[in-house]
Amino acid sequence: MSVSKLAVLATTLLLTWLAPTPSVLAQACEPTCREGYACVAGACISPCNPACAAGEYCRADGQCLPMSSPEQATPSRARVPPARVQRNGRRRGITTTLGAAMYLGLVGAAARAEARDTHAELECENDRLTGFPIYDCTSAVERDLYLPELPLLGAATLVLTSFWVPSLRAGTFANRAGYPGGRALRIVGLVGYLLTTVANATLGTALFLEPEERFPPYLYHLSAGLGAITLVAAAADAFLGARQARFEAEDVWTVQLSPLRDGAALALRGRFR
């Protein structure tokens, strides 16, 4: 064997011995490489050369794309159709307005009953002083006492809760769907609801514990005003959310492409949501 062949054989054996083993090439990367990077010999290498600029990401084929590119898979939440928000807001606004009228009617009836009982007590006192009885004032138990004021006040509080809570849920639904409505109106409604329920509970407890006592009608008027503000604010919030959804549902975009061939033009008109 010649010296040249021996030299070639020795060189081949040396290179084979110095070459990295497959286990080194397949060494894993810790931590794992992010999307768009490949793990080579324990290092994360980007297929994009030169590296992508700030605000871009490297695709597997070596192309740099902006982070907001639609080709990048990003999780998205399905948007609620504007028509559904519009219908829900209108329906809730109308029913809440009717609820406000019912609440005012019930509290107003309780105030009139309280005023009537107060007037009867004054007349009884005058009858005792003058000696000419007009009212049956022989026993306070025989009169209505806290009836019907207490049941009317309880029914009004139930109406307030029954209409305000669903209206608040409708406003929250529209807000999550992208139609903020009136956040200030929701805050006013929440404060008014808390004040009204506390006032009604306090007055109702006083009526129950002190049935022979008469309370000034302005307490009922205060309750009526707070409840009306609460429900009107809720109705306005619902109508405002429906109005915002209506404006988006009526947005119309026109796309026109021209010319195409032989002077022809293509126009696309439609409603995009």
The pLDDT of residue 244? 80
Q: Cβ distance 245 to 239 under 8 Å?
A: no
Q: How confident is the model at residue 75 (pLDDT cuts 50, 70, 90)?
A: very low
pLDDT tens string 207-262: 888 877 778 888 999 999 999 999 999 999 888 888 887 765 444 444 444 444 44
Q: What angle do CA 230, 235, 238 make, to 5 degrees?
A: 130
pLDDT tens string 136-181: 565 554 455 667 888 999 999 999 999 998 888 877 777 777 777 7
Residue 112: other Cβ atoms inside 10 A: 14
pLDDT tens string 124-134: 777 666 666 55
**Partners of 92 in the β-ladder:** none
Q: How confident is the model at residue 100 (pLDDT cuts 50, 70, 90)?
A: very high
What CA–CA distance (Å, rounded) separates 236 from 232? 6
Mean pLDDT to the nearest integer, 10-16: 60
The pLDDT of residue 192? 95
Q: Cβ distance 192 to 233 under 8 Å?
A: yes
Crossing angle of helices 149-176 and 82-130, in 10° steps, is 160
The residue type found at 192 is G
Please name which of 201, 186, 183, 189 lies closest in space to residue 226, comparing C-alpha atoms. Answer: 189
The residue type found at 58 is C
Q: How confident is the model at residue 198 (pLDDT cuts 50, 70, 90)?
A: very high
What CA–CA distance (Å, rounded) separates 143 from 206? 18
**Partners of 257 in the β-ladder:** 266
The alpha carbon dihedral of 109, 110, 112, 117 has a sign of positive
What CA–CA distance (Å, rounded) separates 144 from 121? 12
Please name which of 89, 229, 236, 220 lies closest in space to residue 160, comparing C-alpha atoms. Answer: 229
Q: Cβ distance 62 to 50 under 8 Å?
A: no
Crossing angle of helices 218-249 and 82-130, in 10° steps, is 170
Parallel, antiparallel, or unpaired for β 64-66 and 253-257? unpaired
The pLDDT of residue 226? 95
Residue 156: other Cβ atoms inside 10 A: 26
Q: Among the residues of the chain, which ranges form H helices?
A: 3-18, 22-25, 82-130, 149-176, 183-209, 218-249
How far does the chain reach from its first CA to its final CA, in angstroms? 83
**Partners of 43 in the β-ladder:** 40
